[in-house]
Amino acid sequence: MLNRIIVVVILVPVAVVLIALAVANRQMTSFTLDPFNPGNAALTLQLPLFVMLFLALILGMVVGGTAAWLKQGRYRREARAKRREVQNLLQQKQPAPGAAGTPKVVPALRG
C-alpha cells in the first residue's frame, strides 16, 4: 500500500515533469569539450537539450550515490565487525554436542 502511495504521489508527477521537459527542449544544442576552441568539431557533440539534461541528472545521481556509499563505508565496516563479534559469542555459548535439554543456538544471518 505504501509503495502505491509513493508511486502515485512522487513518481508520477516527476515522470510528467520529465516528459514535459523532454518535449519542450527538443532543439539541438552543442556541447564542446574544448573551452579554448569552441569551433573544434572533433570535440563537439550535437544533442537535443533534454538528452544533455538527463545525462547530467544521471551523472549527478551516480556521483552522489558513490560519494554517499564511500562515506558510509566506516559504518558498514563497523557492522561487519559487530556481526563477527556476535557470531563468536554465540559459538562460545553453544553447549557441548549431544547435551540433552539444551536449546539449539542458530547463528546470525549474514546480510
- Number of domains into which the chain is organized: 1
Tell me if residue 45 falls in helix, strand or coil. strand
Any residues with CB less than 8 A from the CB of 77 and at least 6 apart, and which?
A: none
Task: Specify if 65 maps to a domain.
Answer: yes
Task: Specify if 68 maps to a domain.
Answer: yes
Task: Specify if 101 maps to a domain.
Answer: no
Domain boundaries, position 30: 2-88
Task: Specify if 108 maps to a domain.
Answer: no
* Per-residue pLDDT at 31: 85
CB atoms within 10 A of CB 50: 19
Which among 9, 5, 51 is positioned nearest to 26, based on CA atoms?
51
Question: pLDDT tens for residues 47-103?
Answer: 998 899 889 989 999 999 999 999 999 999 999 999 999 999 998 887 666 555 555
Task: Specify if 96 maps to a domain.
Answer: no
Task: Specify if 71 maps to a domain.
Answer: yes
Strand partners for 45: 31
- Report d(CA 46, CA 41) in Å as an integer: 10
